[in-house]
Structure 1
């Protein structure tokens, strides 16, 4: 296996470089914006610039590794290593001028995530984790929250881009779970949601129809912070629940009740 400590320092530097581009272009007039899967699924010139920085660095330093990235999809190599990249998670926020977005980079080795970084450039928050070595925010160790009831909890969620055309759009889960909570947040950046679960700011999270690059780094952050991420069965793409063990089980219980109706 490669030296993960060395790789972590490299990944952090890549995230900072991409974040610098994002800060420099934040609230830019005439930001170039295009759409992808729908008219609410955006990509900006800054997404593409950020991805170019990260992918160029991976290719320069780990030329024999595979890459899965949001804007470039899959660069296949005959390798046990796969980099999973979301260069700018929270593009709608970025395009709107809302300061909640993040760079997300993870590394898989033989199908297991062994390294993850989520960097929020506006707040200068660097979340990081290496398999077996804990999770950190700006080099301070973090853990998931300890709450064990929904009534005490503040959760986060989100909604799929095809929510208008597909009935499996999370509204039924939201309607069922929301009345049982202390609060709900919808921040619009899955990677940052998961990072906030890892450090205990959020008690849990669920969302449907995500992509691997949305959650790869967040998965290892939460695992190394003492929590867990559960894949919701029989759902499109990546659908997950995250939090400490008790909160995950409570959210899954609500979801299962609705599925059985």
Structure 2
């Protein structure tokens, strides 16, 4: 029996929905010149392909699970049950700008959350027919290959993914400072333009880490489960797990994640003063305190025991050699012998 046949029933439905959307996207990519495009905002586009793909996903999901809720990029929560414990989080076409220019980096992203915790995830790359999928507690896969995050331990050797701010209200000055900080500390930075795929690339070990601001839940939900199921870590810039609605995210293998958090903690929204309404926000903790707390939390996560099927790295044992006494000095006294443990009397 193949892995595909052992999938959770809800994951199978998500895969069916993602492939249906991917077929619509591939057909639309053949006629980019005649697509109807709407501007949601500056540099933020939606095409009839986005809407058709989302409709196909929602129809597939609600046909199978009519009592579930929907949170979708183009239609929000207007479909599905409003108070369900199960909510499908959908991005029908992550990377719309790439798609509209014929740049082949975009994907369908579908996640299922139960009581706010993502349980199932699918990210489908229709240009390569690559299917990333994960179930909580059962691992992450690309097609039928198990995914594992990379094993690099030094940020200076690492390839880091990111996304540039592009919407009105995004802080370009803040991002440029972040970019400069990370770029000088790592081996390279990449920005393909589809966050859902970027997160899958971390899970696959192609990136060692990733960071971005301004993200929405549908950008992050599926990819974040891929990473944790592949042995990586995901959090906000201070290393906490409430990233899904915080509009900031950092991810990576455990060692690189810890180092990224220490670099990015000063740029968290907690201490950001350049956004409208920031003057009404509660006073932020000093940057030094935030960095210290972030470092402690990230190190604790990075040092947590790995999954059971991942062998722990053996650390070399250092054996101290006796130091020869200098001329004229008496030899060092041997350490006191240990007293034998007492045997209890009968």
Normalising by structure 2, we get a TM-score of: 0.71
In structure 2, C-alpha distance between the alignment counterparts of 1:138 and 1:126, rounded to whole Å: 5
Q: Provide closer, same or farther for how the CA distance between residues 183 and 27 of structure 1 changes in structure 2, counting only shifts above 3 A.
A: farther
Q: Does residue 230 of the first structure (1) align with residue 235 of the second (2)?
A: yes
Match 2:115 to one of 110, 114, 136: 110
CA deviation digits over 1:75-107, x for unaligned, max 9? 452211000000000001001110000000000
Match of 2:90 among 85, 88, 111: 85
Partner in structure 2 of residue 19 of structure 1: 22
Specify every segment of 5 or more residues in structure 2 that has no aligned partner in the other structure, as ranges.
1-5, 272-286, 289-346
Distance 1:166 1:200 in 2: 29
Whether the 8 Å CA contact 1:64–1:77 is kept in 2: the answer is no
Q: Which has the higher strand share?
A: 1
Answer yes or no: is the 8 Å Cα contact 1:163–1:169 preserved in 2: no
Where does 1:44-193 land on structure 2 (aligned, <5 Å)? Answer: 44-75=47-78, 76-162=81-167, 166-167=171-172, 169-193=174-198
Corresponding residue for residue 38 of structure 2: 34
Give the 3-state SS of the residue equivalent to 1:206 in structure 2: strand
Task: State how 1:215-254 maps to structure 2 within 5 Å.
Answer: 215-232=220-237, 237-254=246-263
CA distance in 1, matches of 2:174, 2:130: 31
- How far did residue 124 of structure 1 move? 0.7
- Corresponding residue for residue 209 of structure 2: 204
Q: What SS class does the counterpart of residue 121 from structure 2 fall into?
A: strand
Contact 1:51–1:87 under 8 Å retained in 2 = yes
Residue ranges of structure 1 left out of the alignment (5+ in a row): none
Q: CA RMSD in A?
A: 2.1
SS in 2 for 1:143: coil
Closer, same or farther: CA 124–256 of 1 in aligned 2, 3 Å: same
CA contact (8 A) 2:42 2:167 kept: no
**Paired residue total:** 258
User: Relative contact order (alpha carbons < 8 A, sep ≥ 6): 1 or 2 greater?
Assistant: 1
